[in-house]
Amino acid sequence: MTEPDVTSHQHDALQRAARDHLWMHFARHSRDDGGAIPMIVRGEGPYVYDAAGRRYLDGLSGLFAVQAGHGREELAQAAAKQAAELAFFPIWSYAHPKAAELAERLAGLAPDGLRRVFFTTGGGEAVESAWKLAKHYFKLTGKPGKHKVISRAVAYHGTPHGALSITGLPGLKAPYEPLVPSGFRVPNTNAYRAAAEHRADPEAFGRWAADRIEEAIEFEGPETVAAVFLEPVQNAGGCFPPPPGYFRRVREICDRHDVLLVSDEVICAFGRLGAMFGAQRYGYTPDVITFAKGVTSGYAPLGGMLVADRLFEPFGRGTEMFAHGYTFGGHPVSAAVALANLDLFEREDLTGHVRRNEDAFRATLERLLDLPIVGDVRGDGYFYGVELVKDKETRETFDDAESERLLRGFLDRALYDAGLYCRADDRGDPVVQLAPPLVCDQRHFDEIEGILRSVLTEAWARL
């Protein structure tokens, strides 16, 4: 523990301000435990510090965003320098240098053919933009009936009404229904929960899962389906990597039915999987890549979509335009930070660092499989889920009441108190999600494993 960053008087004032006025996101505000609201005040490398000076390993990169780690002065300086020159100007029929430079830079890093960049301020907006683009594109190309979207069960794609409609989590959607119609769900690639014959043959499982997409397209009618939205590694549910051959078959299916393949890489892009884009990691070329978070390492809000040349082509002639945009999309300060972040990626070879260390990260987490509460460890790169079970042999999971006691009643706070910020999540089956900054190495892997081992051992004893 270091010296407190705020005095006790300041801390009390901040707690009152947060309790009385701050509406936190995805948070329960009843706080019947009477405890203090965690107040993070600074960060350095893979660590963050609270107001009392306690240190925590950031096992989630903030929220899958802080790829380069905390406290990178060059990113803060890039923001300050740009704000002094041009703090804001929109890209509505105008341009500014940083947006143009960043668009060119991203196009050069993307899979072949994705050379046009549309900027937003975040990931949900990027997904929303991609669905609107798909519908508009097909109207301009003589197929106005193509408007439906297919996504996977338990997948999360954002909170705006369109993005939430693509999301496959009924519990998140129910309070806001009716949502945008035309979203349909297919099975995900959760091999741990797949049928025994699928677990024994990953390639066959990949074909089966991809074929469910074609089945849905044919059932709805190819003339009505505009796009398939898939994350390279599905986040919600606890990191479902694609089986071998899955994306190759999905690409063939989409081409056969003239359906756009949208790779939602809000989490998976910018080194998280050991490649600049997840599509590159798994060897497929989508029609659209949505991105956010890691493009600036979280130092400024920015998102967007990389778009195939053919999708831009109808908008590049005559009087047509994509009637869509955001005030702060492509913000000059955010774009400057993103450029500095990409410079840092190149200088420090962060994607290479992930590739060189990902096997060690996996092996370290797999030590936890000797615990009776750990059923599965899965993921790729620096993106993992540890699934918790009641019975390892039968793979029996916890019921809702047990999951409530385990995750929110114990794990959330116990992991934090032990010095690890990560995520205990039961949007699917109960998992602990891990996505540390890309600068982490074996020292940090061991620290993560040690804290998890201690806390999960206590959790099992309590059960």
For residue 3, tell me if it sits in a domain: no
Domain that holds residue 27: 8-71+350-461
Comparing CA positions, the residue from 222, 85, 48 lying closest to residue 145 is: 222
Q: Do residues 142 and 41 share a domain?
A: no
Kindly report the CATH number assigned to the domain that includes residue 371.
3.90.1150.10
Instruction: State whether residue 40 is helix, strand or coil.
Output: strand
Q: Do residues 16 and 142 share a domain?
A: no
Instruction: State whether residue 374 is helix, strand or coil.
Output: strand
Kindly provide the b/e burial profile for residues 287-317, where b requires at least 16 CB atoms within 10 angstroms of the residue's own CB. Answer: bbbbbbbbbbbbbbbbbbbbbbeebbebbee
For residue 160, tell me if it sits in a domain: yes
Domain count, the chain: 2
- Specify the pLDDT at position 30: 80
Q: Do residues 208 and 321 share a domain?
A: yes
Burial of 417 (0-12, 13-18, 19+ CB in 10 A): middle
Instruction: State whether residue 229 is helix, strand or coil.
Output: strand
**Ranges 357-361, 401-405, 429-433: which has the least confidence:** 401-405
pLDDT digits (tens, 9 = 90+) for 276-308: 999 999 999 999 999 999 999 999 999 999 999
- Specify the pLDDT at position 1: 60
Q: Do residues 82 and 48 share a domain?
A: no
- Of 297, 331, 348, at which residue does a domain stop? 348
Q: Do residues 230 and 131 share a domain?
A: yes
For residue 1, tell me if it sits in a domain: no
Q: Do residues 32 and 88 share a domain?
A: no
pLDDT digits (tens, 9 = 90+) for 91-139: 999 999 999 999 999 999 999 999 999 999 999 999 999 999 999 999 9
Has residue 11 got a pLDDT over 70?
yes
Has residue 34 got a pLDDT over 70?
no
pLDDT digits (tens, 9 = 90+) for 232-268: 999 999 999 999 999 999 999 999 999 999 999 999 9
Comparing CA positions, the residue from 61, 133, 96, 442 lying closest to residue 287 is: 133
- Specify the pLDDT at position 31: 61
- Specify the pLDDT at position 29: 86
Has residue 425 got a pLDDT over 70?
yes
H-assigned helices in 201-330: 202-220, 246-257, 278-282, 309-312
Kindly report the CATH number assigned to the domain that includes residue 117.
3.40.640.10
For residue 57, tell me if it sits in a domain: yes
Has residue 421 got a pLDDT over 80?
yes
Share of the chain above pLDDT 70, in %: 98
Has residue 4 got a pLDDT over 70?
no
Q: Are 184 and 259 in contact (CB under 8 A)?
A: no
Has residue 9 got a pLDDT over 90?
no
